[in-house]
Amino acid sequence: MATLSIDAERLLGRLRELGQIGRAGDGRLIRLAGSDADRAGRDAFVAWLREAGLDVAVDRIGNIFGIWRDRVNTDEAPVLLGSHIDTVIDAGIYDGSYGVLSGLEVIETLKAAGFAPARPVAVAAFTNEEGVRYAPDMMGSLVHAGGLSVEEALATIGTDGTILGPELERIGYAGPEEPGFLKPHVYVELHIEQGPVLEREGVSIGAVENLQGISWQRVVIDGAANHAGTTPMSMRRDAGHAAARVVTFLRDRAKNANAPTVATVGCMSFEPNAINVIPSHATFTVDLRDPDEGRLRAEEAALAAYLRHLAGAEDVTISVERLARFEPVTFDRRIVELVEDAARNRGLASRRMTSGAGHDAQMIARIAPSAMIFVPSTGGISHNPREHTPDAALVAGANVLLDVVTRLAAE
């Protein structure tokens, strides 16, 4: 078969159309899982799946699958593509959606060319990858892979007090299929890098060979509120100051480490939150990431030891809640090599790399050989309305995905 190429105009047009669904009154893109905006985005995606002649299936956690079964042995496990279409607050238009719509575009291109796959090819839009409204993130793919029960996931209470299960029913996406009903032969996810490496090095394609482990914790520090003007510094039980010490401890440790470890305190609140009152209560989150499980555990242990020391030094009480914990993932070597081959054959420079962000691929890797393809992100910006990847780079990534799928689906 002659070298195929995707329909660039169709892919880019759909990306922009989906990118307008979920705009708030102030123009921000907000398509949180289970929301009315999520329903509108899902409706558009399902309409495109049906237009492409794919079988549409929705499971109980709301994962959407478009399945191409024409003229193939339907008993064979499918080549699965996909990502997610939910967003963060004030998002860009590429994160997740690019992988979903490119997966659909690849199937449509192969169908139009008369390609006869040896097994089904499917595209998935997984529920609640971002985890903004409901925790944990990557929930739909985690449930699909058997890492979280569907009952527990559906009972999750959101940041706005809603429950995920009833919200999925309300928007019409509490499907009948049991999660995991579609066990893939392989899984490939195309995504923008969300980092600066490819652009900085002038490389077109990232062949993602592994993904960082992630540790999320919530830390609560209790001290004593008192007057900001009359309480001597030596007599304070200042929860705010103790929290600040944790922030600097984490940053200094990560910066001074000869390793790719990263540490972030992304949320923090004080009580009573008054300018002239010493904080009696501080709550904050800690996000630790490293591609090596041993180093990640060492960082968790170092934080725990520091918190024990801090409690005595500052005369405060500290409690910790684990929010999420995912081990590092090593992707399938053969698929990574196929990505490199496809890039080379297209005349594109590629490099192997680690994903610093979490993705649905890390969950599906639990049940099937998996890998990811990255394309450059301008300025390394993501989770931001300035998130951007040039059209030519988007098309190049989709064509690499097309070539990889052509090889995998012919097996």
Known binding-site residues for Zn(2+) equal: 84, 95, 130, 191, 383
Q: Are 84 and 130 in contact (CB under 8 A)?
A: yes
Q: SS3 for 82?
A: strand
Could you please report the per-residue DSSP string of 226-237? -BTTTS-GGG--
Integer angstrom CA distances of residue 138 from 123, 127, 215, 245, 370:
16, 7, 14, 31, 15
Counting Cα atoms < 13 Å in the Cβ hemisphere of 66 gives 27
**How far is 381 from 175, CA to CA, in rounded Å?**
34
Cis peptide bond prior to 272, omega within 30° of 0: yes
Q: Is 274 helix (H, G, I), strand (E, B) or coil?
A: coil
Q: In whole angstroms, what is the distance from residue 46 CA to residue 125 CA?
A: 10
Q: How far is CA 128 from CA 136, 139, 143, 356, in A?
A: 8, 6, 11, 19
Evaluate the CA torsion angle 223, 226, 228, 229 in order and state its sign. negative
Q: Which residue has the tokens 């040039």?
A: 390
Residue type, 59: D
Q: How far is CA 247 from CA 218, 266, 269, 286, 319, in A?
A: 13, 10, 13, 9, 16
Maximum CA extent, the chain: 81
Cis peptide bond prior to 176, omega within 30° of 0:
no
Per the annotation, binding residues are 84, 95, 130, 191, 383
Name which of 81, 99, 93 is nearest 31 in CA terms.
Answer: 93
Say how far apart CA 93 and CA 384 lie, in whole Å: 9
8-state DSSP, 34? T
> 3-state class of 214 per DSSP?
strand
- Phi and psi torsions of 360, nearest 5°: -55, -30
**Residue pair 106/97 in contact by the 8 Å Cβ criterion:** no
The 10 Å Cβ neighbour count of residue 87 is 29
